[in-house]
Structure 1
Amino acid sequence: MASIQYEIIEEIACLSTSASGWTKELNLVSWNNREPKYDIRDWSPDHEKMGKGITLSKEELVNLKQNLNEINMNLS
């Protein structure tokens, strides 16, 4: 299996932390030396291991933000 290269360009937000210390994060990541994309996934404490995640272009992130702002968050 080919090695995946990545560089976390910017750590934007930690969304949650599990009991094992893994964190779900929103970061700007360059995968295999490509243009950086916004990325949501679980990371080990040292950022050496990662879980499955989702990458978003800037336009997709803006669209997601606009849609999230419209959600009625009455969760009571």
Structure 2
Amino acid sequence: MDKAALQDFFAYTGWAWDEIKSAIPDDETLRAVAPGSGWPTLRNCLSHIVLAYDRWVPAIVTLKSQPMPALAPDDF
């Protein structure tokens, strides 16, 4: 992968996060319990996605799995 491809990738991820942020009207929505979802809050769901992605990229690069960090419920 060359530098231009990496810049395109980071531009896309920035756009994706901007879209997520624009869809969430306020902090109360992030902290609200999602009934029936199995997740305590949307914030927990998004943090799970970010942590999973954070583990996936190094696993691809180094071809080994990394342990998940121990996080308190209010770390995000």
The TM-score with structure 1 as length reference comes to 0.27
Query: Which structure is higher in strand share?
Result: 1
TM-score normalised by L of structure 2: 0.27
Larger relative contact order (CA 8 Å, sep ≥ 6) = 1
